[in-house]
Amino acid sequence: MQHEKALVVFSGGQDSTTCLFWAKQQFSHVEAVTFAYGQRHDAEIEVAKEIAAELDVPHHILDLSLLGQLTSNALTRHDLDIDSKSSELPNTFVDGRNHLFLSFAAVMAKQLGMHHIVTGVCETDFSGYPDCRDQFIKSLNVTLNLAMDYPFVIDTPLMWLDKKETWALADELGAFDYVKERTLTCYNGVIGSGCGECPACKLRQNGLTAYEEVRV
């Protein structure tokens, strides 16, 4: 795949930053796209910008703030704890969000003359998002190819890794310290090791601790 180009769906978090390093190793040219959809913290977009600049990756920011309109409609849904700070779902969670992101990424990738779309979705630590599952990604890949009559390949390097193995992959890519110190996973907007209290921080720290125990 060395002569190929790839577009990475990039949030500035641990997973997508690891994917960005992976893509830079796999492909001759890599660009990144970040979706602005009313994230809880503007910091997320700023971190994504900084990382892309530091890694010398052309970076696109696409405005999907319309997702906020769908979230408002979700106020009537009682299964979503929209306002709680401790909610595991971001307050802008929308069903099928990943589906939408990948579809927009595909339109952009085709315009950029790219066949590969890289995403950090993962089925192992199943997050409750059905559009992160391998079966969905394979289905969408076929659908996008038919929709645009274009041979896309959706790459999911983290699909079968647990959080510990994702740290191991970052380490293999020579990016362990960078991912540990520079990425933003925390729901409270704290870069690196984070606030330590929110579900995202706990998940990240558990994986990191497990990996550091076996790291030589």
User: Contact residues for Zn ion (CB under 5 A)?
Assistant: 186, 188, 194-195, 198, 201
**Of 13 and 120, which has the nearer Cβ to Zn ion?**
13
| Least distance in angstroms from the C-beta of 89 to Zn ion | 14
- DSSP per residue over the chain, as a string? -TT-EEEEE--SSHHHHHHHHHHHHH-SEEEEEEEES--S-THHHHHHHHHHHHTT--EEEEE-TTHHHHHHHGGG-TT---S-TT-SS-TT--TTHHHHHHHHHHHHHHHTT--EEE----STT--S-GGGSHHHHHHHHHHHHHHHTS--EEE-TTTT--HHHHHHHHHHTT-HHHHHHH----TT---TT--S-SHHHHHHHHHHHHHHHH--
**Of 138 and 202, which has the nearer Cβ to Zn ion?**
202
**Of 85 and 138, which has the nearer Cβ to Zn ion?**
85
**Of 45 and 184, which has the nearer Cβ to Zn ion?**
184
- Which residue's beta carbon is nearest to the bound Zn ion? 186
| Least distance in angstroms from the C-beta of 132 to Zn ion | 20
- Which region holds residue 96: left if phi is over 0, alpha if psi is between -120 and 50, else beta? left
**Of 137 and 186, which has the nearer Cβ to Zn ion?**
186
* Beta-carbon-side half-sphere exposure of residue 83 (alpha carbons within 13 Å): 4
CA 68 to chain centre: 19
Q: CA-CA distance, 210 to 191, in Å (whole number)? A: 20
**Of 90 and 157, which has the nearer Cβ to Zn ion?**
90
| Least distance in angstroms from the C-beta of 82 to Zn ion | 18
| Least distance in angstroms from the C-beta of 1 to Zn ion | 35
| Least distance in angstroms from the C-beta of 185 to Zn ion | 7
| Least distance in angstroms from the C-beta of 186 to Zn ion | 3
